[in-house]
Chains A and B, each alone.
Chain A
Amino acid sequence: KNQVEQSPQSLIILEGKNCTLQCNYTVSPFSNLRWYKQDTGRGPVSLTIMTFSENTKSNGRYTATLDADTKQSSLHITASQLSDSASYICVVSAGTNAGKSTFGDGTTLTVKP
Protein backbone atom coordinates (compact mmCIF):
# COMPACT_ATOMS: atom_id res chain seq x y z
CA LYS A 1 0.00 0.00 0.00
CA ASN A 2 1.27 3.44 -0.95
CA GLN A 3 2.00 5.58 2.08
CA VAL A 4 3.29 9.07 2.85
CA GLU A 5 4.46 9.88 6.35
CA GLN A 6 5.27 13.39 7.50
CA SER A 7 7.15 14.53 10.55
CA PRO A 8 6.91 16.22 12.87
CA GLN A 9 3.13 16.31 13.25
CA SER A 10 3.40 19.85 14.60
CA LEU A 11 6.13 22.40 15.10
CA ILE A 12 6.41 25.75 16.85
CA ILE A 13 9.22 28.15 15.97
CA LEU A 14 10.04 31.78 16.55
CA GLU A 15 9.74 34.32 13.77
CA GLY A 16 12.94 34.63 11.79
CA LYS A 17 14.12 31.10 12.51
CA ASN A 18 14.57 28.34 9.94
CA CYS A 19 12.88 24.96 10.02
CA THR A 20 12.80 21.70 8.09
CA LEU A 21 9.83 19.43 7.56
CA GLN A 22 10.23 15.79 6.59
CA CYS A 23 8.35 13.49 4.24
CA ASN A 24 9.01 9.76 3.80
CA TYR A 25 7.13 7.79 1.22
CA THR A 26 6.58 4.30 -0.08
CA VAL A 27 4.89 4.98 -3.39
CA SER A 28 5.50 2.99 -6.52
CA PRO A 29 6.01 3.66 -9.33
CA PHE A 30 7.15 7.14 -8.36
CA SER A 31 6.05 9.97 -10.63
CA ASN A 32 6.45 13.21 -8.71
CA LEU A 33 6.40 14.74 -5.26
CA ARG A 34 4.62 17.96 -4.38
CA TRP A 35 4.56 20.19 -1.35
CA TYR A 36 1.46 22.23 -0.57
CA LYS A 37 0.75 24.94 1.96
CA GLN A 38 -2.72 25.00 3.49
CA ASP A 39 -3.77 28.01 5.52
CA THR A 40 -6.50 27.48 8.08
CA GLY A 41 -9.91 27.44 6.41
CA ARG A 42 -8.51 27.45 2.88
CA GLY A 43 -7.63 24.99 0.17
CA PRO A 44 -4.04 23.79 -0.33
CA VAL A 45 -1.75 25.87 -2.54
CA SER A 46 1.10 24.33 -4.48
CA LEU A 47 4.64 25.27 -3.38
CA THR A 48 6.89 22.93 -5.36
CA ILE A 49 6.78 19.90 -7.60
CA MET A 50 9.72 17.57 -8.21
CA THR A 51 10.15 14.67 -10.56
CA PHE A 52 12.52 11.74 -10.20
CA SER A 53 15.44 13.57 -11.80
CA GLU A 54 15.19 16.68 -9.63
CA ASN A 55 16.74 16.79 -6.19
CA THR A 56 16.01 20.38 -5.22
CA LYS A 57 13.42 23.02 -6.05
CA SER A 58 13.00 26.47 -4.57
CA ASN A 59 10.07 28.83 -4.32
CA GLY A 60 11.13 31.99 -2.53
CA ARG A 61 11.98 31.10 1.07
CA TYR A 62 10.81 27.52 0.54
CA THR A 63 13.30 24.90 -0.66
CA ALA A 64 12.30 21.31 -1.22
CA THR A 65 14.75 18.45 -1.61
CA LEU A 66 14.18 14.96 -2.89
CA ASP A 67 16.24 11.80 -2.40
CA ALA A 68 14.57 9.23 -4.63
CA ASP A 69 16.94 6.51 -3.47
CA THR A 70 15.94 6.76 0.19
CA LYS A 71 12.41 7.94 -0.69
CA GLN A 72 12.68 11.02 1.44
CA SER A 73 11.89 14.65 0.90
CA SER A 74 12.27 17.72 3.03
CA LEU A 75 10.87 21.22 2.94
CA HIS A 76 13.14 23.90 4.36
CA ILE A 77 11.70 27.26 5.31
CA THR A 78 14.18 30.10 5.69
CA ALA A 79 13.72 33.19 7.85
CA SER A 80 10.20 32.24 8.88
CA GLN A 81 7.40 34.78 8.96
CA LEU A 82 4.12 34.82 10.86
CA SER A 83 2.34 34.16 7.56
CA ASP A 84 4.17 30.83 7.27
CA SER A 85 1.88 29.48 10.01
CA ALA A 86 -0.04 26.77 8.16
CA SER A 87 -0.24 23.08 7.45
CA TYR A 88 2.32 21.74 4.97
CA ILE A 89 1.28 18.72 2.99
CA CYS A 90 3.48 16.29 1.08
CA VAL A 91 1.84 14.51 -1.85
CA VAL A 92 3.41 11.72 -3.88
CA SER A 93 1.99 10.64 -7.22
CA ALA A 94 2.35 7.18 -8.70
CA GLY A 95 2.59 6.55 -12.41
CA THR A 96 0.56 8.58 -14.86
CA ASN A 97 -2.85 7.97 -13.35
CA ALA A 98 -4.20 11.28 -12.07
CA GLY A 99 -6.10 9.49 -9.34
CA LYS A 100 -3.04 7.82 -7.87
CA SER A 101 -1.76 10.48 -5.51
CA THR A 102 -1.15 9.78 -1.85
CA PHE A 103 -1.43 12.66 0.61
CA GLY A 104 0.44 12.92 3.88
CA ASP A 105 -1.41 14.06 6.99
CA GLY A 106 0.57 17.29 7.02
CA THR A 107 2.80 19.14 9.46
CA THR A 108 1.22 22.04 11.31
CA LEU A 109 3.68 24.89 11.63
CA THR A 110 3.12 27.73 14.06
CA VAL A 111 5.41 30.75 13.86
CA LYS A 112 5.37 32.91 16.97
CA PRO A 113 6.55 36.50 17.27
Chain B
Amino acid sequence: DAGITQSPRYKITETGRQVTLMCHQTWSHSYMFWYRQDLGHGLRLIYYSAAADITDKGEVPDGYVVSRSKTENFPLTLESATRSQTSVYFCASWDRGNTDTQYFGPGTRLTVL
Protein backbone atom coordinates (compact mmCIF):
# COMPACT_ATOMS: atom_id res chain seq x y z
CA ASP B 1 0.00 0.00 0.00
CA ALA B 2 1.25 3.45 -0.89
CA GLY B 3 1.59 5.97 1.89
CA ILE B 4 3.15 6.31 5.29
CA THR B 5 2.71 3.70 7.99
CA GLN B 6 3.67 3.48 11.63
CA SER B 7 4.08 0.52 13.92
CA PRO B 8 3.05 -0.38 16.45
CA ARG B 9 -0.15 1.65 16.65
CA TYR B 10 -0.37 1.16 20.40
CA LYS B 11 2.39 0.39 22.88
CA ILE B 12 2.49 0.07 26.64
CA THR B 13 5.89 -0.12 28.28
CA GLU B 14 7.53 0.43 31.62
CA THR B 15 9.84 3.14 32.83
CA GLY B 16 13.43 2.48 31.89
CA ARG B 17 12.75 0.17 28.96
CA GLN B 18 13.95 0.85 25.45
CA VAL B 19 11.23 1.30 22.85
CA THR B 20 11.49 1.70 19.09
CA LEU B 21 8.73 3.18 16.97
CA MET B 22 8.82 2.41 13.29
CA CYS B 23 7.92 4.62 10.35
CA HIS B 24 7.86 3.60 6.69
CA GLN B 25 6.95 5.63 3.60
CA THR B 26 6.57 4.38 0.04
CA TRP B 27 6.98 7.67 -1.86
CA SER B 28 10.77 8.08 -1.51
CA HIS B 29 10.32 11.57 -0.04
CA SER B 30 13.69 12.81 1.12
CA TYR B 31 12.41 14.56 4.26
CA MET B 32 10.92 12.71 7.22
CA PHE B 33 9.88 13.94 10.66
CA TRP B 34 8.94 12.71 14.12
CA TYR B 35 6.48 14.69 16.25
CA ARG B 36 4.84 14.13 19.59
CA GLN B 37 1.37 15.36 20.44
CA ASP B 38 0.32 15.63 24.04
CA LEU B 39 -3.31 15.87 25.03
CA GLY B 40 -4.68 19.32 24.28
CA HIS B 41 -1.45 20.59 22.78
CA GLY B 42 0.08 21.11 19.41
CA LEU B 43 2.57 18.88 17.69
CA ARG B 44 6.19 19.33 18.69
CA LEU B 45 9.09 18.30 16.49
CA ILE B 46 11.45 15.72 17.97
CA TYR B 47 13.81 14.99 15.08
CA TYR B 48 13.81 15.31 11.33
CA SER B 49 15.87 13.95 8.46
CA ALA B 50 16.68 15.57 5.14
CA ALA B 51 17.93 12.35 3.54
CA ALA B 52 19.39 8.97 4.41
CA ASP B 53 22.12 9.36 7.03
CA ILE B 54 21.25 13.03 7.63
CA THR B 55 19.31 13.84 10.79
CA ASP B 56 18.81 16.95 12.90
CA LYS B 57 17.28 17.84 16.24
CA GLY B 58 13.93 19.48 16.58
CA GLU B 59 12.34 21.26 19.51
CA VAL B 60 12.24 18.35 21.99
CA PRO B 61 15.00 15.80 21.15
CA ASP B 62 16.15 14.82 24.66
CA GLY B 63 15.64 11.14 25.45
CA TYR B 64 15.16 10.15 21.80
CA VAL B 65 17.46 8.69 19.16
CA VAL B 66 16.83 8.41 15.43
CA SER B 67 18.54 6.77 12.51
CA ARG B 68 17.93 6.71 8.79
CA SER B 69 19.92 4.12 6.92
CA LYS B 70 17.32 3.89 4.13
CA THR B 71 15.21 6.65 2.59
CA GLU B 72 11.95 4.86 3.31
CA ASN B 73 12.48 4.13 7.01
CA PHE B 74 12.88 6.49 9.95
CA PRO B 75 12.76 4.68 13.32
CA LEU B 76 12.52 6.57 16.61
CA THR B 77 14.03 5.02 19.73
CA LEU B 78 13.36 5.95 23.33
CA GLU B 79 16.53 4.76 25.00
CA SER B 80 15.14 4.65 28.55
CA ALA B 81 11.44 5.48 28.57
CA THR B 82 10.07 7.90 31.14
CA ARG B 83 6.47 8.66 32.09
CA SER B 84 6.80 12.12 30.55
CA GLN B 85 7.25 10.42 27.18
CA THR B 86 3.70 9.11 27.28
CA SER B 87 2.23 10.68 24.18
CA VAL B 88 1.00 10.13 20.66
CA TYR B 89 3.84 10.03 18.17
CA PHE B 90 3.39 11.02 14.54
CA CYS B 91 5.76 10.37 11.71
CA ALA B 92 5.56 12.48 8.56
CA SER B 93 7.22 12.81 5.19
CA TRP B 94 7.45 15.90 3.03
CA ASP B 95 6.91 16.02 -0.70
CA ARG B 96 9.07 19.08 -1.05
CA GLY B 97 9.62 19.18 -4.78
CA ASN B 98 6.12 18.41 -6.02
CA THR B 99 3.06 19.21 -3.92
CA ASP B 100 5.03 20.81 -1.06
CA THR B 101 2.73 18.84 1.24
CA GLN B 102 3.57 17.08 4.47
CA TYR B 103 1.94 13.67 4.87
CA PHE B 104 1.39 12.24 8.34
CA GLY B 105 1.17 8.67 9.49
CA PRO B 106 -1.70 7.39 11.66
CA GLY B 107 0.25 7.79 14.90
CA THR B 108 1.52 5.54 17.67
CA ARG B 109 -0.05 5.90 21.08
CA LEU B 110 2.66 5.19 23.65
CA THR B 111 1.98 4.75 27.34
CA VAL B 112 4.88 4.55 29.79
CA LEU B 113 3.92 3.11 33.16
Contact = CB atoms under 8 A, between A and B. Distances in A.
Interface string A68-106: 000000000000000000000100000000110101111
A82 B40 CA distance: 21
Contact of B58 (A32, A41, A46, A99): A99
B39 to A, nearest CB: 11
A63 to B, nearest CB: 18
Chain A interface bracket (under 10, 10 to 19, 20 to 34, 35 or more):
10 to 19
Interface string B85-109: 0000010101010001111111100
Q: Chain B contact residues: over half helix, strand or loop, or mixed?
A: strand
A99 B45 contact: yes
B104 A101 contact: no
A105 B40 contact: yes
Given A98-B94, A99-B45, A105-B40, A46 B107 contact: no
19 contacts: A4-B42, A32-B100, A34-B102, A41-B107, A43-B104, A43-B105, A43-B106, A44-B43, A44-B90, A44-B104, A46-B101, A49-B100, A98-B48, A98-B94, A98-B96, A99-B57, A103-B42, A103-B44, A105-B41
